[in-house]
């Protein structure tokens, strides 16, 4: 717990740290101030009412009023300071967590679901804020109110206080037993919350698929299952608390009964004044309320601790792929690519096996092969989204592990079949790699990607806001915007992974011609299944089961009569023509 609190402290700006400490000091001082009015009440009863001496009355009432105003004013400043400190901590924590997410690698996002990450960035982080803004001062209040009250009441009447102290260990024992049982339940509840949010996020992202297959009822039942699990987990915690609460309440009421009866007995014996008994009855809540609140505060502490663990897991996690200590500076990517005996395994399964090939600057290489053969993995290894498990990948003669990641990836433009577009203008999506890009350049690359014409027909042209993931655009339109985005950064290496799979043949031919005549030197890597997309490549590779089984030009591979020839024959209906 101390480690988690220190972590929150470290995420608070230095200018807010003194305010936070001052707020907790105010909590301690105002806890002590609660004793002023009961002490004055004793004087009011013993020295004014019973003594029938009205002279000190106004003075006592004035001090009581002043103490109340001063305490409430101090508490207001305390709450404002705690809230300001907690919001500062929350802002810093969310910013740092988001930055962590930005620089994490593919393996991280393969491990954590989007819904789980959103829970950590929202609900879990807010519980950290709740600790700073509320839990910390409530614990301080309860602790010091109890301690100050016990010490003060001992000075008022040690016998009565000694009897009341016997009850306190019983309350503490019950509270400790409850805390031990509730912690695992909070961890289970947090997992159910994560599962429910992940299911909701997945359903919202895939709403078109759900509607296409008319699976709304199925998804409703599926979500209700997660919702019910979270509901039951929450309910089990509440039931556990309610099973302990009657015992705490009974002991708290016992303290009040003991105070009245034993206090009355001491008054009869002349060992206590009515004013002193009034102090005990007036402060009995200060002995029992902290114990009552302790159960609820323990609930909050357990939720905070569980949430903090989840957030700290991301916060302190380190990406596996980072700049090496010896990473060298490169002004630009010139475009030479070399795979030298590259192998790669994922979760113990070999995906790439001893692959070697070289692409000179300005050349075009095409890669084809059956689904799952490892084509996209090669691109991920090139941009170092994953690290090879054998061999090496070189760009411009330098191992990609010795490149700075931002320089390497900044020089590689990637357009994939699975297009992601942001909820922003068309223009901003194309200029995503360089937001200072002139409009003329944006329009030029949109034209080269055969996107300019349909963009101009959108309601607001290039200023049209497109929906999340490009909702409202066809698959081919999204692909062309993604291709324009990749070309617009004028990369030294342009990667197209099935980029034209959703466009017609005429548009594809136009795009291929534009790619061959780009206004800047650029190495092209094309992953495709259409022969028409790769027939003009300087080198064509066929990748099957992670190994290169064929390589050569279009004519050479047709003569080889292997996988490439079979694909060519299938796409051109050669067998049907021979049989006719």
pTM, whole model, 2 decimals?
A: 0.77
> Is 439 a domain residue?
yes
pLDDT interval class at 251 (50, 70, 90): confident
Do 300 and 426 reside in the same domain of the chain? no
Assigned domain for 175 exists: yes
Least confident of 33-42, 88-97, 235-244, 353-362: 235-244
Q: pLDDT by residue (tens digit) across 278-317?
A: 888 888 778 777 776 776 787 788 888 888 998 998 999 8
Domain count, the chain: 2
Residue 423 belongs to a domain: yes
Using only C-alpha atoms, what is the Rg of the chain?
Answer: 36
Confidence of residue 580 (pLDDT cuts 50, 70, 90): very low
Residues 66 and 203 in one domain: yes
Region 131-153 average pLDDT: 91
Q: Which of 378, 369, 372, 373 is nearest to 564 (CA)?
A: 369
Confidence of residue 575 (pLDDT cuts 50, 70, 90): low
3-class state of residue 90 by DSSP? helix
- Which of 9-18, 286-295, 526-535 tops mean pLDDT? 9-18
Q: Is the dihedral of CA 459, 465, 470, 471 positive or negative?
A: negative
The last residue of one of the domains, among 455, 490, 525, is 490
pLDDT value, residue 271:
87
Is there a contact between 526 and 554 (Cβ–Cβ < 8 Å)?
Answer: no
Examine residue 562 and state whether it is found in any structural domain, yes or no: no
Residue-wise pLDDT for 101-135, tens only, equals 888 888 888 888 887 888 888 888 999 999 999 99
Nearest to 537 by CA among 410, 378, 357: 357
Q: What is the pLDDT of residue 579?
A: 39
Q: Show the domain range for 264.
A: 2-315
What angle is formed at CA 229 by the lines to CA 226 and CA 233, rounded to 5 degrees?
Answer: 145
Confidence of residue 470 (pLDDT cuts 50, 70, 90): low
Which whole number is the average pLDDT over 526-540? 89
Mind listing the pLDDT tens digit for each residue in 337-395?
Answer: 999 999 999 877 889 999 999 999 999 999 998 888 888 899 999 999 899 999 999 99
Shared domain for 143 and 269, answered yes or no, is: yes
Q: What is the pLDDT of residue 324?
A: 87
CA dihedral 257, 263, 264, 265 (to 10 degrees): 110
- Residue 535 has what DSSP assignment? T
> Taking Cα atoms as reference points, which of 92, 99, 68, 74 lies closest to residue 15?
92
Does residue 218 share a domain with residue 89?
Answer: yes
Show which of 472, 490, 508 is a domain's final residue.
490
Q: Decide if pLDDT at 523 tops 90.
A: yes
* Mean of pLDDT over the chain: 86
Give the CA diameter of the chain: 126
Average pLDDT over residues 439-446: 91
- pLDDT tens-digit map of 162-208: 887 777 777 777 777 776 777 788 778 878 887 888 888 778 777 76
Is 577's pLDDT higher than 50? no
Instruction: Measure Cα distances from 513 to 75, 139, 150, 450, 572 in Å.
Output: 73, 71, 87, 11, 21
Q: How confident is the model at residue 578, as a pLDDT?
A: 44
Mean pLDDT across the stretch 42-56? 84
Task: Tell me what percent of the residues of the chain surpass a pLDDT of 90.
Answer: 35
CATH number, position 470:
3.40.50.300
pLDDT surpasses 80 at 501: no
- If asked whether residues 302 and 421 sit together in one domain, one would say no
pLDDT confidence bin for 74, thresholds 50/70/90: very high
Q: For the domain that residue 163 is a member of, what is the CATH number? A: 1.20.1560.10
**Are residues 289 and 428 part of one domain?**
no
Q: What is the pLDDT of residue 468?
A: 65
User: 576: pLDDT confidence band, cut at 50, 70 and 90?
Assistant: very low
User: CA-to-CA distance for 443 and 404, rounded, in angstroms?
Assistant: 31
Q: Are residues 306 and 433 in the same domain?
A: no
pLDDT, mean of residues 71-99 = 94
Residue 79 scores a pLDDT above 80: yes
Q: Are 310 and 421 within one domain? A: no
- CA-nearest of 422, 418, 433 to 499 is 418
CB distance 85 to 12 below 8 Å: yes
Say yes or no to pLDDT of 18 above 90: yes
Instruction: State how far the alpha carbon of 553 is from the alpha carbons of 358, 371, 536, 565, in Å.
Output: 14, 22, 8, 12
**Least confidently predicted of 211-215, 256-260, 320-324, 435-439:** 211-215
More confident residue, 467 or 49: 49
Mean pLDDT (whole number) for 485-507 = 86
Q: Say how far apart CA 576 and CA 580 lie, in whole Å.
A: 6
Residues 131 and 255 in one domain: yes
Domain boundary among 467, 490, 513: 490
Helix ranges (H only) for 54-166 are 57-102, 106-111, 114-119, 125-130, 136-156, 158-165
């Amino acid at each position: 717990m101390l480690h988690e609190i220190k972590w929150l402290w470290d995420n608070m700006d230095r200018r807010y740290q003194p305010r936070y400490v001052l707020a907790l000091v105010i909590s301690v001082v105002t806890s002590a101030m609660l004793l002023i009015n009961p002490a004055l009440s004793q004087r009011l009863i013993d020295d004014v009412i019973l003594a029938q001496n009205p002279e000190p009355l106004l003075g006592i009432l004035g001090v009581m009023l002043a103490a109340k105003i001063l305490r409430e004013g101090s508490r207001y400043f305390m709450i404002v300071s705690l809230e300001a400190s907690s919001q500062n901590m929350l802002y810093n924590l969310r910013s740092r967590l988001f930055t962590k997410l930005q620089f994490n690698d593919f393996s991280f996002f393969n491990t954590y679901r989007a819904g789980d990450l959103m829970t950590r960035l929202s609900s879990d982080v807010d519980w950290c804020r709740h600790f700073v803004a509320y839990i910390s001062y409530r614990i301080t209040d309860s602790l010091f109110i109890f301690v100050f009250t016990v010490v003060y009441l001992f000075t008022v009447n040690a016998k009565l206080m000694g009897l009341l102290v016997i009850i306190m260990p019983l309350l503490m024992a019950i509270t400790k037993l409850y805390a031990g049982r509730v912690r695992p339940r909070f961890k289970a509840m947090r997992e159910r919350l994560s599962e429910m949010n992940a299911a909701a996020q997945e359903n919202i992202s895939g709403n078109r698929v759900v509607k296409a297959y008319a699976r709304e009822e199925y998804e409703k039942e599926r979500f209700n299952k997660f919702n019910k699990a979270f509901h039951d987990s929450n309910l089990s915690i509440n039931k556990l608390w309610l099973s302990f609460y009657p015992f705490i309440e009974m002991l708290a009421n016992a303290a009040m009964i003991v105070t009245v009866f034993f206090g009355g007995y001491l008054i009869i014996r002349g060992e206590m004044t009515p004013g002193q008994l009034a102090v005990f009855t007036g402060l009995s809540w200060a002995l029992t309320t902290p114990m009552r609140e302790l159960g609820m505060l323990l609930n909050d502490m357990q939720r905070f601790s569980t949430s903090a663990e989840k957030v700290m897991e991301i916060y302190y996690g380190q990406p596996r792929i980072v700049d090496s200590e010896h990473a060298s500076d490169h002004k630009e990517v010139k475009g030479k690519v070399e795979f030298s005996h590259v192998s790669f395994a994922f979760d113990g399964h070999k995906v790439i096996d001893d692959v070697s090939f070289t692409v000179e600057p300005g050349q075009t290489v095409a890669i084809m092969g059956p689904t799952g053969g490892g084509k996209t993995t090669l691109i991920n290894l090139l941009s170092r989204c994953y690290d090879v498990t054998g061999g090496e990948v070189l760009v411009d003669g330098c191992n990609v592990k010795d490149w700075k990641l931002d320089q390497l990836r900044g020089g590689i433009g990637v357009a994939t079949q699975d297009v992601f577009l942001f909820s922003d203008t068309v223009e901003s999506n194309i200029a995503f790699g360089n937001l200072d890009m002139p409009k003329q350049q944006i329009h030029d690359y949109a034209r080269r990607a055969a996107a300019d014409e349909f963009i101009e027909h959108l309601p607001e042209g290039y200023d049209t806001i497109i929906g999340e993931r490009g909702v409202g655009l066809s698959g081919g339109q999204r692909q062309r915007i993604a291709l324009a985005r990749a070309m617009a950064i004028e990369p030294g290496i342009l990667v197209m992974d099935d980029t034209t799979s959703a466009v017609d043949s005429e548009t594809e031919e136009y795009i291929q011609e534009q790619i061959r005549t780009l206004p800047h030197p650029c190495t092209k890597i094309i992953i495709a299944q259409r022969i028409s997309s790769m027939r003009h490549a300087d080198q064509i590779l066929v990748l099957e089961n992670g190994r290169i089984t064929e390589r050569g030009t279009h004519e050479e591979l047709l003569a080889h009569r292997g996988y490439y020839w079979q694909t060519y024959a299938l796409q051109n209906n050669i067998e049907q023509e021979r049989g006719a």
